[in-house]
Amino acid sequence: MLGTENRDPRAPGDLRRYLCFDYSARGALRWYVKVSAKGRRIGISEEYGTEAFDIAFDAAISVLGGVKRMRRVKPTVKPDQPERRYLHVDVSQWGQLRYYVQLRNKLPKIRIKAEFGTPEFNAEVDTAIAAQIALYGNEGDYINAQKQRNEPRPPLPAAPPKPGTLRWYWGVYKESDHWFGDLTVGQQGLADSTRLQRTGLIESLLPENGEKPFAVLTRRVIKAEMKARTPSQAGNLLSALRGMIRWMIDEGHLDEDDDPTIGLKSGKAKASRESGGFLPWTEEDMALFRARWSLGTEARLMFDILHYTFLRLGDAHRFGPPHLRQIVRKMAVQITTEKSQGNTTVTVPVHPEFADSLRAARAAGIVGAEVFTGKKLRGRVLPMNKKAWAMKFKKYAVLAGVNEPKKSCHGVRKARAEVAAYADCTESQMMAMFGWTDPKMPAHYIAQANREKLGMSGMEKIVAFDQSQSLDEFMLARGANTAGTSSENRVVTLRSNARKKI
């Protein structure tokens, strides 16, 4: 019967895999179950849509040795993520709802097979989170595991803001030269990462205060917002507000004496000094990383870029073949730094071990034309943003066993700065190699190295002095024995402690 082969008699919601049908020569519909392409098939004579049909289908799957699965579907609705941290949900290509535990992006996932909402499910989640933290986590993850996800921020009103309100000033500020920069008027603008950070900080104030006049942002209100944050976040919020207020003063929207941030201070600098910032990598950390990732791997190339070029993250993620130049008959790394907005150029010769790493990476085919490392797309290595690059490097470090808090790619740079100071590099040499413009940075590392070297050299002098005293005692004891004094009864003392006979 013509046209019957194009009809699909299955119900729209029937996604059972291995359930097949065809039509006989007379046009009769025939149902059957077939698990493999060349395997046997079992027909179903029961009426489709009945309980007997479903029982026959299950029995046929069991006889053929298959497992009940769903047909591939394209998810139309994204499921809501559970409130519990580190617990995620998605929909498979077969339309199945899957729950899994993942500590951070790019780390392995642990599938949760128990039914959602049951005590068994919660116990399995607890076990999976503990296992992931033991392998890839730190102390802070144990605390975060007990918290719920942050509630989503309410959306801002779609209507245009009224002039004079906080949201209106914020919108105009984001279109200004202070924000994007214009060198013709002496404004350098903000970096992309700074704009992203300040957007999140200031827009967190808008749901409650955005539709109110700017005057509502008093010193007391700002101080209360700062107290609700960590010292680092409070300092960033204060900097973001001061940037917008400086624009308002320059444009005549606010009098300088009415600046609500006057007199406010954050504890960011003190907290940074106490915490020490990013931790430098130790020799043991580097040995672990090299043992896990051999030459010719992307992970090793990322590490060697940081280790042998001393570049910051903002420069390492965009470092590529165009930045290798021949200078004075030597291959050198030459790149303008992102932090200086192109005003400072770093030039260092290519380290012999870095040259070996580059040759191994080229032989493995993992080097791109624009950048050495990045994301692969259709066989090409394309640039990544620095946040994604840092997350990828952190994943490789965690898998290598380097998983201490605050030990990231910047820690490799700090470790190399310590090595440069111990190698007796001068301040000028370190400033040229590391791209610093302030001599305080190399002076800090040199002073630290000198302090430790002085302590070690001082101990060497103490040891030499003690050994010389021991030699003098030996000579005194030998002279006493020669005079006939019994070696068993002699008492040897330092000359400074010996009593003078009266």
Place of tokens 């791209």: 435
Highest mean pLDDT among 96-100, 156-160, 431-435: 431-435
DSSP 309-330: H---HHHHTT--GGGEEEETTE
> How far, CA to CA in Å, does 143 sit from each of 249, 363, 448?
43, 45, 34
Q: What is the mean pLDDT of residues 460-482?
A: 71
Mean pLDDT of 396-422: 89
Q: Which residue has the higher pLDDT, 158 or 287?
A: 287
pLDDT value at position 502?
A: 46
Per-residue pLDDT averaged across 162-185, rounded?
A: 89
Instruction: Please give the mean pLDDT across all residues of the chain.
Output: 84
The Cα 423–Cα 429 span in angstroms is 11
- What's the whole-number mean pLDDT along residues 427-449? 91
How many residues are there in the chain? 502
Contacts of 300 (CB under 8 A, 6+ apart): 289, 290, 293, 294, 357, 360, 361
List pLDDT tens digits, range 334-377.
999 988 878 889 999 999 999 999 999 999 988 888 999 988 88
Note the pLDDT of residue 276: 60
Q: What is the pLDDT of residue 98?
A: 87
Percent of the chain with pLDDT over 70: 85
- pLDDT value at residue 486: 46
Q: If you average pLDDT over residues 249-266, what whole number do you get?
A: 89
pTM metric for this prediction: 0.60
Q: Determine the number of helices (DSSP H) and then strands (DSSP E) in the chain.
A: 18, 11
Q: What is the pLDDT of residue 2?
A: 46
| Helix, coil or strand: residue 345 | strand
As its CATH architecture, domain 166-275 has Orthogonal Bundle (1.10)
Nearest Cα residue to 84 out of 153, 141, 147, 139: 147
Q: Any idea what DSSP says for residue 6?
A: G
Q: Which of 1.10.260.40, 2.40.170.20, 1.10.10.10, 1.10.443.10 is the CATH number of 283-437?
A: 1.10.443.10
Of 21-35, 205-219, 483-497, which range is least confident?
483-497
Q: What is the per-residue pLDDT for 152?
A: 62
Which residues are within 8 A (CB) of 161 and not within 5 positions of it... i.e. 6 or more apart? 167, 168, 171, 210, 211
